[in-house]
Amino acid sequence: MDLQTEYLQIGPAVCVIESDPNMNIQLDKLLAYLDSPVLHYLSAEIFLAECEGIEVGCILADGDQLGAQGAQFIEELSQRGLSGATIIIARHANIDDAVKALQRGVADYIEIPQPDRLLLAKIRQVISRGACLSGPRPH
Amino acid sequence: MKKDNPADKPTVFIVDDDEPVRDSLKMLMRSVGLSAETFSGAAEFLEAYDPDRPGCLVLDIRMPGMSGMELQEKLNEVHAILPIIFITGHGDVPMAVKAIQYGAADFIQKPFRDQDLLDRINKAIEQDASNRAQLLETRDIEERLSNLTPREKEVLELIVDGRPNKVIAADLEVSQRTVEIHRARVMDKMRASSLAHLVRMVMRLRNPG
């Protein structure tokens, strides 16, 4: 068994979609409090290309980075049955983006920065709803 | 089956404590041929609320007395399906998120363009019509189901689970011929055009929505 496969045996993964190294460091510190494997993806495209077959507990995606592609990304997630496990975090949060994301079925949309405790609670809440097995790319 | 009456036409219910706002929203609705009713507060709306009237609810968040969010909670308690569009001048992201998580159809910030609000209202009214049609269909299936005898219901469950007549006959300790008769009655009473149709109807009741 290779290392990644072994790592994923721990339980459903938290998938972080974030390209900013500083944000990744901060999120890693936070996610170390959870008993979940953490997988990093630098972009939504990379995640969508690689996520098939992964047991997903929660997806944390940077809303600022998604920008205008956010809507299409959430649509793809929902076709794979993953939107309900998704939390969008955004520094430049705004009401319209939040409403659109939730209408398309994401679990939460959070303006950051937030206290670690609060962000952890929201992530735990999503994980506790059960894992989603990431389906194949829809045609 | 209910007859067509004026109450079946969608209505935009407007709840806002600010009278000029209420009046201008009502004018806006009328200008595009939508019928609208206004209420000066959440309690007043709740008093008049009729679950059978379709349309949508345009709801101010901040009001003296019962707030818009509190009204949403009350409507959730009675399993209301009327879509809610929140309007606010002082909204923030967490408030919008909470409103949608609790089932609101939409959340719009003042100032907005008239057309933007109208688009959202039309979308909500469409959604409401489709929800109500589904609900009606579900009730219709339930009614057909209630006409089955206990034995026919047993046979129905087994058919839906994919058991062939031979197995059902053995399970219920009756002849295959008897199962065939029950099966035909079930198909007839459920007005099922095919086995697939029958299964679809039963699944509809098992996983509503």
A75 is a domain residue: yes
* B131-169 per-position pLDDT tens digit: 999 999 999 999 999 999 999 999 999 999 999 999 999
B79 is a domain residue: yes
Instruction: Please report, for the domain that includes residue B192, its CATH number.
Output: 1.10.10.10
- Residue B3's pLDDT band (cuts 50, 70, 90): very low
Provide φ and ψ at A88, rounded to 5°. Answer: -95, 130
B92 neighbourhood in chain A, CB within 8 Å: 95
A12 is a domain residue: yes
Q: How far apart are the first and last CA of chain B?
A: 21
A80 is a domain residue: yes
Confidence (pLDDT) at A6? 81
pLDDT value at B80 more than 80: yes
Mutation test of the interface with chain A: which of B100, B113, B116, choosing the one with the most A Cβ atoms within 10 A? Answer: B100
Confidence (pLDDT) at B90? 87
B140 is a domain residue: no
**Does B177 share its domain with B108?**
no
A135 is a domain residue: no
A103 neighbourhood in chain B, CB within 8 Å: 100, 105-106
B184 is a domain residue: yes
**Does B62 share its domain with B113?**
yes
B155 is a domain residue: yes
B42 is a domain residue: yes
- How many Cβ atoms are within 10 Å of A19's Cβ, its own excluded? 13
* A67-102 per-position pLDDT tens digit: 888 999 999 999 998 999 999 999 999 999 999 999
A134 is a domain residue: no
Confidence (pLDDT) at A139? 59
At A23, which amino acid appears?
A: M
Q: Is A36 within 8 Å of A12 (Cβ atoms)?
A: yes
* B27-78 per-position pLDDT tens digit: 999 999 999 999 999 999 999 999 999 999 999 999 999 999 999 999 999 9
Question: Would the CB atoms of B109 and A95 count as touching at under 8 Å?
Answer: yes
Confidence (pLDDT) at B7? 54
Whole-number percent of chain A with pLDDT over 70:
97
**Does B119 share its domain with B157?**
no
- How many Cβ atoms are within 10 Å of B55's Cβ, its own excluded? 21
- How many Cβ atoms are within 10 Å of A128's Cβ, its own excluded? 9
Instruction: Please report, for the domain that includes residue A59, its CATH number.
Output: 3.40.50.2300
Confidence (pLDDT) at B2? 47
> How many domains does one find in chain A?
1
B21 is a domain residue: yes
Instruction: Please report, for the domain that includes residue B92, its CATH number.
Output: 3.40.50.2300
**Does B78 share its domain with B108?**
yes
Q: Residue A56: which domain range?
A: 3-129
Q: Residue B28: which domain range?
A: 6-132
B100 neighbourhood in chain A, CB within 8 Å: 98-99, 102-103
